[in-house]
Structure 1
Amino acid sequence: MNVTNHPVVSREEWLAARQQHLAHEKAFTRERDRLSAERRALPWVKVDKDYHFQGPNGELKLNDLFGNNSQLIIYHFMFAKGWEQGCQGCSFLSDHIDGANQHLAHHDVAVVAVSHAPFNEFQDFKKRMGWKFGWVSSEGCDFNYDFGVCARAEDVAEGKATYNYEKTDSAEEEMPGLSVFYRNDEGEIFHTYSTYARGLDMLVGAYHYLDLTPKGRNEDEIMEWVRHHDRYDGAPKSGCCHAD
């Protein structure tokens, strides 16, 4: 947005405009509450497939990722086999996880990142970023494919790949997303929700700060300006493995 010639008015005129906008904000809040309730009311799918993951102490099952919680949020972090660092957009979002986790861990919610690369391939990057949240590998199982964040090379080549619930020519072998699961008292696990693309915006608190400012997000393409947090000019280096 061009702020150079923005209108400047009296305090009284500003207040009138702000009150009009407040009415729109309140309507949006009510609509967001309605949408959230609709999301919670979606039907569930029972998860019977035996997914396995690799963590710091060896093999894990989906059930293990819940810890002592009944609710599990999985962030599908784009990090494929052979990559030296994670995707910048996923890293931007993941910078927000540890802060939220200080509270979610005490409110019956586990948050875990899952990537397709072997577990040992993203440990240096995690250390470099200074993250504490759980992050496991789904190497060797269909988890990423079944939940819509990985596409097989042949499907991409033939234009059969889907992303965000629709077939698309822009699908890649690695894509971001989020999935939510519930475990009942009998130990049964259900898939309750998944979201992709702009649906992930709700997790990026920095964007919500930017939305309050005169210049807004100030980007021509989504996240074009974003860097790994230790790559901004003047950013302190931490951890290891700083090679680009």
Structure 2
Amino acid sequence: MQQHQIVSREQWIAARKAHLAHEKELSQARERLAEERRRLPWVRVDKNYVFDSPNGTVTLGDLFKGRPQLVVQHVMFAPDWDTACKNCSFWADGFERMVPHLAARDTTMVAVSLAPVAKLEAFKKRMGWTFDWVSSGGNDFNYDYEVTFTREQIDKGVPKYNFGTTPFYGPELPGISVFYRDEAGEIFHTYSCFARGLDMMNAAYQYLDLTPLGRHEDGLPYPMDWVRLRDQYEPQATKACRG
């Protein structure tokens, strides 16, 4: 950890106000970016995707639950895995209690994974989650929205992840896709984000960014090496982070 100058309260306020000006610049840039995002063109969804849910099969249109907007969190959970990806679960912990707030603004949020429903339900119970989670194991949804890749695609070495900007680092990768359903029932794909584009949706990371140590990931084999499933953290892990 770097050494910090110790100053008076008045000097700290002056430094904080200078930093506040930079924060306001970022906020204004973020607002401009959000407006630009809302102006992006849309793509009509022509495929009739059918998913497996705990209550039987449902279509992509059903997932909207009568609302015009749908946010899909692509959670990495391959059919032969026993648990979902620990990093995706880190995000899922964050949006678990967001669902009613999004619904109040005409937006439904669901998780989608390749694993069969029985595995999704078992893991959901273990984690104490209540959000809707459906299986795309019987359709091309994960492949079409580029979060699952075939061995042939990976062997070719031509990146398709994150719009071709990020090399493959596995057959299952994280993402978020957004859809709109109009009054006629037509569905449109309006937005997707991947890789570091998901960062802004992780509230825990945003809180860590406020602290002196930040994410404290320097020197790790990879940035999220420290992340565990919520029920796998050991009590002494907190002390280990202080070194």
Band the TM-score falls in, shorter-chain normalisation: over 0.9
Q: Which residue of 2 is the match for residue 228 of structure 1?
A: 229
Secondary structure of the residue that 1:96 maps to in structure 2? helix
Aligned residue identity for 1:207: Y
The 1:106/1:167 distance shift into structure 2, 3 A limit, reads closer
Equivalence for 2:241: none
Which string of whole-angstrom CA distances, capped at 9 and with x for unpartnered residues, describes residues 104-152 of structure 1?
Answer: 1222110000001122222211110000000000012111011010001
2:92 & 2:199 partners in 1: Cα distance?
A: 12
1:59 aligns to what SS in structure 2?
Answer: strand
Note the C-alpha offset of 1:167.
5.9
CA distance in 1, matches of 2:15, 2:159: 47
Alignment of 1:73-84 (within 5 A): 73-84=71-82
- The 5 Å alignment of 1:2-41 reads 2-3=1-2, 5-41=3-39
1:11–1:213 CA distance, 2 compared to 1 (3 A)? same
AA partner of residue 154 (structure 1): E
Displacement after TM superposition at 1:49 (Å): 0.8
Match of 1:204 in 2: 202
1:72 equivalent among 67, 70, 80: 70
Amino acid at match of 2:139: C
SS in 1 for 2:97: helix
CA positional deviation for 1:161: 4.4
**CA 197–96 in structure 1, closer or farther in 2 if over 3 Å, else same:** same
Q: Does 1:139 align with 2:137?
A: yes
The amino acid across from 1:224 in the alignment is: D
Contact 1:79 1:116 in 2 (8 A): yes
Structure-1 separation of matches of 2:133 and 2:223: 25
The letter for the 1-side match of 2:156 is: E
Give the Cα–Cα distance (whole angstroms) in 2 for the partners of residues 167 and 211 of structure 1.
Answer: 26
* C-alpha contact (below 8 Å) 1:161/1:171 kept by paired residues: no
Q: Distance in 2 between matches of 1:82 and 1:94?
A: 20
Cα distance in structure 2, aligned partners of 1:98 and 1:171: 27
Q: Kindly, what percent of the aligned residue pairs are identical?
A: 53
Q: How does 1:46-195 map to 2 (within 5 A)?
A: 46-166=44-164, 168-195=166-193
SS in 2 for 1:166: coil
Q: CA deviation at 1:171?
A: 3.9
Alpha-carbon distance between aligned partners in 1 of 2:32 and 2:217, rounded to the nearest angstrom: 30
- Partner amino acid, structure 1, of 2:225: E
Task: Give, in whole Å, the separation in 2 of the partners of 1:161 and 1:150.
Answer: 12
**Paired AA for residue 162 in structure 1:** K
After TM superposition, give the deviation of residue 234 of structure 1 in Å: 4.0
TM-score (norm 2): 0.92
Between 1:199-208 and 1:154-163, the stretch displaced more is 154-163
Name the amino acid aligned to 1:136.
V
Distance 1:42 1:16 in 2: 40
The question of whether the paired residues in 1 share the 8 Å contact of 2:161 and 2:167 is answered with: no
Q: Kindly provide the CA deviation profile for residues 3-57 of structure 1, in whole angstroms up to 9, marking residues without a partner as x.
A: 4x21111222211111111111111100000000000110000001111100011
* Structure 1 segments unaligned to the other structure (5+ residues): 236-244
Q: Which residue of 2 aligns with 1:241?
A: none
Cα distance in structure 2, aligned partners of 1:188 and 1:125: 33
